Chains A and B, each alone.
Chain A
Amino acid sequence: MSFLSGFTDSDLWHSFIRTPTALVSALLTLILIAGALAAPLVAPHNPFDLASLDIMSAHLPPVWMKDGDPAFLLGTDDQGRDVLSAIFYGARISLLVGFASVLLAVLIGVTLGLVSGYLGGRADAAIMRVADVQLSFPAILIALLIDGVARGVLPREAQEHMAVYVLVFAIGISNWVQYARTVRGAAMVESRKEYVQAARIIGIGPVAILWRHILPNVLGPVLVIATINLALAIITEATLSFLGVGVPPTTPSLGTLIRIGNDYLFSGEWWISIFPGVVLVLLVLSVNLLGDWLRDALNPKLR
């Protein structure tokens, strides 16, 4: 409770309620997340239940067009799957991959950054060397590689079930460097400050110092990077799925849905790819807007 009131009293909150774009994008993000989370409850059909699909109702247009069927608000795809339901379930997978991979990247990046900044010396040199190398490799290429490795190493039957985890790992591992660099810089500065020196002298262990004193100071920038990376992770997942190396079509993400629908773009069945595309762009856009606002709000120089 005190935490909540502390939050509502904060500058951040005031900035938030006074920025319309932040409000709107936060609302949009929340709606999309809620819709995705509650997919089994709100989606009119279960697109994963093969027995419920009827191929004779394939390729139906959205309800407001000629031949539209009220049972399928946004039309159906080539297998008779309800596009609206597929979007709900697809957004769920996109968000799952996005959040999980960002979490993984934050965990790795913050830990390594703290260690690197606090310890310095050889550990620092080694970690930063790896970071430098990896930073120069674009995330999408690294993700493509890891995905390739996983496909080669995992038994074929497991691939389909493991696809989501592989993606999370591939995207997460390719994005930790930014966090590590940011945290390292902050940790370096903080660890030289007198209060940390003092804490060290009175015998507080390094873990406690890192956790209690240094970490809180770097949370702001980490949050900003995480928000923007969430958008990036969702796009990366969509791109990989579009290239056909992401999640399988039996449990499609938004990217997979766009890939499937892309085959029908010229045949006039635009709804199969356009609706998932619009949702993807809305999701990424609102997360990006949120990240933008957060960065400006947390940057003391801009106030």
Chain B
Amino acid sequence: MREGVVITGIGTVCGLGIGADALWDGLCAPRSAIGPITRFDASGLRSRLASEAPEFSVRDSVPKSYRKATKVMCRDTELAVVAARLAALDAGVRTRGSDEADEGFEISGERLGCHIGAGLIAAETGELGRAQATGLDEDGEFSIRAWGSVGDEARGAMENLTPLWLLKYLPNMPACHVTIVHGAEGPSNTITCFETSALLCLGESSRVIERGGADVCFSGGTESKLNLVGMVRLEHAGRLATTPVDQADRAGSEVVRPYDPQSAGGVAGEGAGILMLEGMGHARGRGARVYAQVAGFGAAQTRTAVDAIYGEPVERDEGLSDAILSALRDAGITAEQVDAIVPGAQGAAALDRAEAGALSGVFGERLREIPLVTISPNVGSCVAGQGGLQTAVAAMCLHRQMLPGRIHAGRPADGLDAGAADTRDARLTYVLVCASGLGGQNAAIVLRRDEG
């Protein structure tokens, strides 16, 4: 008999604020966190809007003995470390990194896993540029020979990079720092599949718990592409709306229009969504509050994804349909039983069309009756972090039996319940979360209401 898996803690950081309540309240308002980029000089970029997370100090989220290590944390790691601590506190799981939860449940390190999705993390342009500027030739061009340290032409320019420079930007650092802060010695992984990363991590954590490899896992994703390199990459990936010069101050809420064929594109966000997944027996045994059960997980590859990136986008993402069907099978339910969907819905017209095509392939005519909970107009697209935020929202919908309001300044394609809406009560038993990533990986998770 496989162990059931439940969600007992939620930790999120995104443009709408720090903590799951800030995310939920912002969605319900509904409020958009999208605005002009302030964190760096984005004046030369084609897309100059973003959803930036509010100020925080990661030092407050780690034990005193670990504060020094925060110097080698990049933004993606900081977001994950803050979100993970919130998740542990929320779950009442006491670790060496969440000691303020004195009355919580103390978990053995070996039974605590950690799966955090991430992206390629771009080195800070300034940090590298400053060092590279000390290694120029007579013409002011970068000189690889001056960069090195041995021989007559060497000027040792690379030594102007901090020794731990590489370790700051490895994609596994968010997960590794979280394992260290919390003493999580169980199975650990870093999945890097662009927008699908977090859902694949949540699926993998569920499988690990199910097969007895851990009792509790930190699981989800983190990413901030809010830097020069990251933004250019997202542009190349066809994710971002161009910001016209005269519209730099345009209300963010007007830009991202999920499933609207006229949508100008998506907007970058930054965020981490980390959940505490826990074995059902373990959670019940300690009397934990359960947000929702993880009823099913499925993943699949779109074979033609690479062609679509450089050529014609597809009308219907078959891999996404396959992933959803597989998750429904895993949950032992039919498409008829799904009450709401939290999809990717980035606002990039070609991606949204392929996603809607996949949903329509699975749900048919009934799709028009299923509310689509879109969060990109509020928090932007947080890439590897997005699936964590989506799943957090789905779990809160089930727990509160509510659907948050929706922002939409245009009109979604016919047959989709994705337009502007107010927050409302809803009777929800099954909520589906799904994502497709650049590169063609797709994943879906079915959450079920927990009735104790």
Chain B binds chain A: no
Chain B residues close to A by CB (< 8 Å): none
